[in-house]
Amino acid sequence: MKNNLTIYVLNYPGAMPSAMVGIQDIFTIANQQAERELFSIIPLSSIVPKNNEERRVVFIPPCLNKQLPSFADPEILALLNRWYKSGAVLVAACAGVFWLANAGLLDGKQATTHWRLCQRLSDSYPAIKQVSGREVVVDQGDIVTAAGLYAFQDLSLHLIARFSGFKLAKKVSDFCLLDLNGRLQAYYQRFHQDFSHGDTLMVKAQQFCSRHLWPSMSVSQIANHCHISERTLLRRFKKATGFTPKQYIIQLKVEKAKQFMELGKISIEEIGYNLGYADTSNFIKIFKKIAGITPSEFRAKQKIL
């Protein structure tokens, strides 16, 4: 029989209190369902066990702070690297993933985080192989990352299935009324316009884009509206929003399509046409590229939710 799994939880400033307790609760329930002690939960310390046979996981919970910390505390980063080198599996949820990125432990790997943070993670740490906004859990073997604030639940179930089998994970999920069917965060992802960057002229450009989605709008029209050159617009718009004007408009159109589909009264073909896509197949292709799922998959999930 395999050794029990010890889960060391990192309690850092800003760590989500309910996650700290929730992680303990889920694995306690797993022990109860298994009718034996399979999992031990203890706080992460600077002392790395010398017993290499011990199966151990370092669990980094999500961050609840409105303003995310820098995730750059040198002592914590050094601590994570020591545990990683000792053979521990490091797992993180939501913004907690940034601890792994700052420690250099995501270099060359795939990862995920909350969909609102995916672009920031990708831009800030280009050494990451891929940041996925589709999956809730991405398992890279010695590193496992999860998406939103309460994805610590999905991550905990994933660890139970990985280390003690699917059967026990299913018993825990059924008991807790949690979903073990591989949720996708793509169903929840939305595009929110950010006007907090401080460039008032680019706010004007963003608002112009929002008001003129139909018909298709050119970069020159946006530049003319702001009374600047196209070159200046491209440079300042990208710096302010992280997107080119064309990319931004596509994001707005996909978000508008989602809103139409939530109403449930308009066909996908008509939605595409209203957004300037006479070719429905082209609309579906663009929607899937941005959302990670097809319009039909998104609409079907809304009926369930």
For the whole model, what pTM was predicted?
A: 0.76
With contact defined as beta carbons under 8 Å apart, do 8 and 56 qualify? yes
Beta bridge partners of 8: 42, 58
Residues 6+ away with beta carbon under 8 Å from 243: 237, 251
pLDDT digits (tens, 9 = 90+) for 13-31: 999 999 999 999 999 999 9
Beta bridge partners of 93: 146
From the list 268, 96, 112, 269, the residue with the least C-alpha distance to 186 is: 112
- The domain defined by 200-304 folds into Arc Repressor Mutant, subunit A (1.10.10)
Position 280 confidence tier, pLDDT thresholds 50, 70, 90? very high
pLDDT digits (tens, 9 = 90+) for 132-182: 888 899 999 999 999 999 999 999 999 999 999 999 999 999 999 998 876
- H or E segment at 299? helix 295-304
Determine whether domain 5-187 maps to CATH 1.10.10.10. Answer: no
The domain limits of the chain are 5-187, 200-304
